[in-house]
Amino acid sequence: MKFLILNGPNLNLLGRREPEIYGKRDYAALVAFVKECCASAGAECEVFQTNHEGVLVDMIQGALETGVDAIIINPAAYTHTSIAIADALRAVEIPAAEVHLSDINARESYRHISYAGEACVATFKGKGFDSYRDAIEFMAARLAGK
């Protein structure tokens, strides 16, 4: 089982960007946490972060060539603006789960829409790093047919 974990803009600033919303742990801690969760679920993973929308689209499309079984994506601000990311997720037809550290529905009204989420089989939000764990466990169970 192979997962592609994609993280969008500003997640590289975890720990210093609005810690009251996103927590005090940094991006390196998130990557370590995600890798540990994937290993516990019996999955290999590649974890990637970029601040550029087109790079996320390229990574999603590239998943077709790398044997990825599932995509877990935190599109960050692109959640609310990127039809291109949603279209790429639909085009590759690889099951995807959307993840958010905060509960986007409990925040500003402009954050309530998720274009990417409409192209995903599930959304996990509002639990900090544990949102990633829940998404990884969900996708592992889904792929195992449970």
Q: Which residues are catalytic?
A: 22, 100
How far, rounded to the nearest angstrom, does the alpha carbon of residue 101 sit from its chain's CA centroid? 10
Angle at 58 between CA 55 and CA 62, to 5 degrees: 140
Tell me the β-bridge partners of 30: none
Three-state secondary structure readout of the chain: CEEEEEECCCHHHCCCCCHHHHCCCCHHHHHHHHHHHHHHCCCEEEEEECCCHHHHHHHHHHCCCCCCCEEEEECHHHHHCCHHHHHHHHHHCCCEEEEECCCHHHCCHHHCCCCCHHHCCEEEECCCCHHHHHHHHHHHHHHCCC
